[in-house]
Amino acid sequence: MRLLFQDEHLVALDKPAGRIVIPGRGAPEWTILEEAQAALGRLWVVHRLDRGTSGVLALARTAAAHRALNLAFEGRSVEKRYLALVRGAPPDEQRIELSIAPARKGRMKAVPPGDPRGKPSATAVRVLERFPAAGLALVECAPETGRTHQLRVHLAFTGTPLALDPDYGEEAPLAGPDGEVLLARTPLHASALTFPHPASGVTLRVEAPLPDDLARVLAWARHPA
């Protein structure tokens, strides 16, 4: 893990793909929280990223900072930015607004407005780069709410699912023309997190660089032949 920011109130890490933040329901494994606490001492989880998602993860270092950051997330004072590699040709800009409800096996699904099972959710999406020869596009997602699997459900519902997503799209890894596996995880990266500092209230923006696996896929997508 790369340390992106730290002070006496919080730390921000660059979470690698393939790791879980807190213990899950499966076999025991070393979590991001456990690894971070081994190096930095007691920490509180403020938000989570899916196993396959990389990027900015904030953790509180005190109970007071934890409360303040929780209030910021609940009050929608936190601005999140994600990069996603999707299939198809999404519009240049769109705002996706859906109600999302739990489905089977830990998945989520879109439900009609007014369905009591659903919670409102909204995401602004804009295209950063198109790769027509590969049938892909790089988009930036700005979620206005924080529902489970929100970005993955929204992108799939609009016909441009993540380029690889076993739950909501294609299961097979992305491979080059010679069969070499280029990417074997959901191409979703938490690129930036902007929020009020839990002690000073000053706006803090933390960014995570594009990881090597996504950079490699984008380089291939620009010249897929």
Total Cβ atoms within 10 A of residue 15: 27
Regarding beta strands 181-183 and 79-87, do their DSSP bridges make them parallel or antiparallel, or are they unpaired? unpaired
Q: 142 with 124: CB under 8 angstroms?
A: yes
Catalytically annotated residues? 50
Nearest CA to 125 among 159, 102, 100? 159
Nearest CA to 42 among 19, 68, 62, 23? 62
Q: 188 with 166: CB under 8 angstroms?
A: no
Q: What is the DSSP string of 182-209?
A: EE-S--EEEEEEEEE-TTT--EEEEE-P
